[in-house]
């Protein structure tokens, strides 16, 4: 097992300029690793990171220990008209295909590919209790996208690259992400639950997500379980969510308490559907109670298990 922080690693990242990726790059650089970021605009990437705009810029001297694939058109920025759904889809699938093609061409392959996915994998249907990695998805856009995204990444397993698929919940961090969008109305006392507030919001503190990515790099046990066996490294769906998912109502109350603001308002489900259509239905009005079984069984200990602690850390410092 590779020891994080003890060995200098070479790491390739897509999406390294984003909300998660930039925090991850800062951590990797602080830990003295060499990081190459694949970006549409590498001029924005400054030393000690190296930026490239195409994988063809790499040569046989570029040998990576790990590849982390996070790139993708933002999912909740624009209404899901046909063209935007295509952009969301293509940006993930095309990048993942290019990364896996690149890996297949290498004589010296990285030990691990960590590739993005989301709790949207599990679909939008009725709440069915706690969901772990073996659960199935449905025919919603989010679920089909995550399935295809994961299956493109899993091709790397066919040539021996351990592949971890991070089914990530709502990432909570200081700058940006979903919390960044929610803060203003809540700070103004205009925050409130969405619809009946009963749908689940699996969340994770950004620091835990970064630690899970590092854990996946250093712990080769993280490749299972797909069928309940932790010792058979077949494939690696990993729920990257805190162990205590909350409902939208609980999230709303907790955020209001941490900010010391009232949360009387309710955003009616009908208004969300009218304003945001399918995007609102899938991202704001539905959610499953996702539980991080694989990573917990592999021995990862969450720093932020409870929402109040996570929000207090992010908002009170
Ligand atoms: N944040 C969350 O709560 C959350 C939850 C679940 C899953 N995820 C997934 O985790 C990944 C990273 O999330 P994030 O919040 O860090 O995303 P983000 O801030 O939107 O960053 C994603 C990165 O992807 C690249 N990108 C954006 N549009 C693209 C396009 N049309 N084609 C190719 N590349 C594009 C950009 O890098 P360049 O501009 O440098 O090319 C951008 O920095 C995403 O795939 C997201 O779906 C995030």
The tens digit of pLDDT for each residue in 138-152 reads: 999 999 999 999 999
Task: Say yes or no: CB of residue 172 within 6 Å of ligand 1.
Answer: no
- Mean pLDDT score, 104-122: 96
| Phi, psi angle pair for 238, to nearest 5° | -130, 115
Q: How far apart, in whole angstroms, are the C-alpha atoms of residue 229 and residue 46?
A: 43
- pLDDT for position 222: 52
- Mean pLDDT score, 97-109: 97
Mutate to test the pocket of ligand 1, among 18, 99, 173, 212 (most ligand atoms within 8 A of CB): 18
Q: Is the dihedral of CA 203, 205, 211, 214 positive or negative?
A: positive
Task: Say yes or no: CB of residue 21 within 6 Å of ligand 1.
Answer: yes
Q: Whole-prediction pTM value?
A: 0.94
Confidence band of 128 (pLDDT split at 50, 70, 90): confident
Instruction: Give 74's contacts (C-beta < 8 A, 6+ positions apart).
Output: none
pLDDT value at 163 more than 70:
yes
Mutate to test the pocket of ligand 1, among 16, 70, 78, 238 (most ligand atoms within 8 A of CB): 70
Task: Say yes or no: CB of residue 180 within 6 Å of ligand 1.
Answer: no
For residue 180, report the distance from its CA to the centre of ligand 1, in Å: 15
CATH fold group of domain 10-176+202-242+291-303: Rossmann fold (3.40.50)
Render pLDDT for 42-70 as a digit per residue (tens, 0 to 9): 999 999 999 999 999 999 899 999 999 99
Confidence band of 175 (pLDDT split at 50, 70, 90): confident
For residue 70, report the distance from its CA to the centre of ligand 1, in Å: 6
* DSSP reduced 3-state for 63: coil
Confidence band of 206 (pLDDT split at 50, 70, 90): very high
Tokens of 82: 């046909």
Q: Which sequence spans correspond to the domains of the chain?
A: 10-176+202-242+291-303
Render pLDDT for 218-268 as a digit per residue (tens, 0 to 9): 876 554 444 344 443 334 999 999 999 999 999 999 999 999 999 999 988
Task: Say yes or no: CB of residue 242 within 6 Å of ligand 1.
Answer: no
């Amino acid at each position: 097992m590779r020891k994080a922080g003890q060995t200098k690693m070479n790491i390739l990242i897509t999406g390294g300029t984003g909300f998660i990726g930039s925090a991850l790059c800062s951590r990797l650089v602080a830990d003295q690793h060499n990081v190459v970021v694949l970006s549409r605009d590498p001029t924005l990437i400054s030393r000690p990171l190296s930026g490239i705009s195409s994988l063809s810029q790499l040569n046989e001297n570029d040998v990576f220990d790990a590849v982390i694939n996070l790139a993708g058109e933002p999912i909740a920025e624009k209404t899901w008209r046909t063209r935007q759904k295509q952009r969301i889809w293509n940006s993930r699938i095309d990048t993942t295909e290019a990364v896996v093609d690149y890996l297949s061409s290498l004589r010296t392959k990285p030990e691990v590919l960590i590739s993005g996915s989301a709790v949207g994998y599990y679909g939008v249907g009725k709440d069915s209790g706690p969901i772990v990695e073996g659960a199935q998805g449905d025919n919603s856009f989010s679920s089909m996208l995550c399935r295809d995204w994961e299956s493109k990444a899993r091709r790397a397993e066919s040539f021996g690259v351990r592949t971890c698929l991070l089914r990530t919940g709502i990432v909570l961090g200081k700058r940006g992400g979903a919390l960044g969008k929610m803060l203003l109305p809540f700070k103004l006392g205009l925050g409130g639950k969405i619809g009946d507030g009963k749908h689940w919001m699996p969340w994770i503190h950004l620091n835990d997500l970064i630690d899970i990515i590092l854990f996946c790099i250093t712990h080769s046990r993280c490749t299972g379980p797909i069928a309940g066996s932790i010792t058979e490294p077949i494939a690696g769906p990993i729920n990257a969510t805190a162990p205590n998912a909350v409902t939208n109502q609980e999230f709303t109350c907790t955020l209001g308490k941490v900010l010391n603001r009232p949360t009387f308002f309710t955003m009616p489900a009908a208004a969300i559907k009218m304003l945001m259509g399918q995007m609102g239905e899938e991202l704001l009005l539905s959610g499953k109670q996702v539980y991080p079984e694989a990573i917990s069984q592999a021995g990862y200990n969450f720093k932020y298990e409870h929402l109040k602690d996570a929000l207090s850390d992010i908002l009170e410092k």
